[in-house]
Amino acid sequence: MAILVTGSTGVVGKQVLAHLEGSGLEVRALTRTPEQSRFADGIAAVKGDLSDVDAVRRAMSGVSTLFLLAPNAADELTQALQALSVAREMDVKGIVYLSVFKGAEYVDVPHFTGKHTVERMIEHCDLPATILRPAYFIQNDVRQKEPLLTHGVYGMPIGSQGISMVDVRDIGEAAARELVRRERAASRLPRESFELVGPDALTAHAVVEIWTEALGRTIQYGGDDLDLLEQRLRSAAPAWLAYDMRLMMARYQQDGAVASKDEVGRLATLLGRQPRSYRDFALATASTWASA
């Protein structure tokens, strides 16, 4: 039997596969273009994507554990629900689903509510799943390179309430640990959930202080302008996705997304160490930029 990793070529999927290397388990990676794949030895590329239910059925044959990461697509909810239904048909014994932190609370943010609906299916159908709920990805801020270095500005309008941003390497490791645990279990394990969060409540003020230290120059905050954010996103993404991101950021500004000590502690127990910090990311990233 095997582990199937969806979203295998994305930021998180790559981290999951990296942490599964050397596990001694059979690992398959779902990809639209297996002929172009550059996976590590021992990881088999499987053709397909979640929008093609026939391809999902073929890919799920012989799979005992599934990592389900649905894409940022207009039909993300449909893709995720269908994948779970196919997993039930195939009698998959373990599922690790990538949801989102605060999905139950941010009811006006489409992709948050969609992921929470998937969680409802998992609960209602009593699926043997681990639900992972990551906060805002720390590595999203690699995209701030140009405004930081050229203009001395941090441009993501995260506001002043605080966000417990998470490092994608911690997401990948947490997912891999749960995949291995479920794959190696002799039988189905009970449902479990973890909030994937960082150790700090990061406000705009805290982030610009960190970047000021990391870059050795004064960094300013670009402000809370959501019109500007949406306009900028629409230059590289569909209008519906840009608006979805705007709604998410509006909730960050209004309510924040701060994890409790218990939530951070549970993740630390899963990882066997403390989650990575934004400051360590910024210092390492600034060093990389300086040496490039």
Average pLDDT of the segment spanning 260-269:
98
Instruction: Give residue 194's pLDDT band: very low, low, confident or very high (50, 70, 90).
Output: very high
Digit-coded pLDDT (tens) for 195-224: 999 999 999 999 999 999 999 999 999 999
Q: Pick 223 or 38 by higher pLDDT.
A: 223
CATH of 2-133+167-196, one of 3.40.190.10, 3.40.50.10480, 3.30.530.20, 3.40.50.720: 3.40.50.720
Does residue 179 register a pLDDT over 90?
A: yes
Asked whether the beta carbons of 14 and 172 are under 8 A apart, the reply is: yes
Q: What is the mean pLDDT of residues 98-115?
A: 98
Determine which of 30-34, 162-166, 270-274 has the lowest per-residue pLDDT on average.
30-34
pLDDT tens digits, residue range 51-74?
999 999 999 999 999 999 999 999
DSSP-derived secondary structure for the chain: -EEEESSTTSHHHHHHHHHHTTS-S-EEEEES-GGG--PPTTEEEEE--TT-HHHHHHHHTTEEEEEE---SSTTHHHHHHHHHHHHHHTT-SEEEEE--TTTTT-TTSHHHHHHHHHHHHHHHTT--EEEEEE-SBGGGGGGGHHIIIIISEE-----SS-B--B-HHHHHHHHHHHHHHHHHSSSPPPPEEEEE--SS-B-HHHHHHHHHHHHTS--EE----HHHHHHHHHTTS-HHHHHHHHHHHHHHHHH-BPPPHHHHHHHHHHHTSPPPPHHHHHHHHHHHHHH-
Q: Over the chain, what is the mean pLDDT? A: 97
Q: CB neighbours of 4 closer than 8 A, spacing ≥ 6? A: 28, 29, 30, 46, 59, 60, 63, 65, 66, 67
Domain locations in the chain? 2-133+167-196
Given a cut of 90, is residue 37 above it in pLDDT? no
> Mean per-residue pLDDT for 139-158?
98
140 pLDDT band, cuts 50/70/90, is very high
Entry pTM: 0.97
Q: Percent of the chain, pLDDT > 90?
A: 96
Of the chain, the percentage scoring pLDDT greater than 70 comes to 100
At residue 123, the pLDDT reads 98
pLDDT at 292 over 90: no
pLDDT of residue 76: 97
CA distances to 27, 219, 289, 292 from 206, rounded to whole Å, are: 40, 11, 21, 26
pLDDT band of residue 41 (cuts 50, 70, 90) is confident
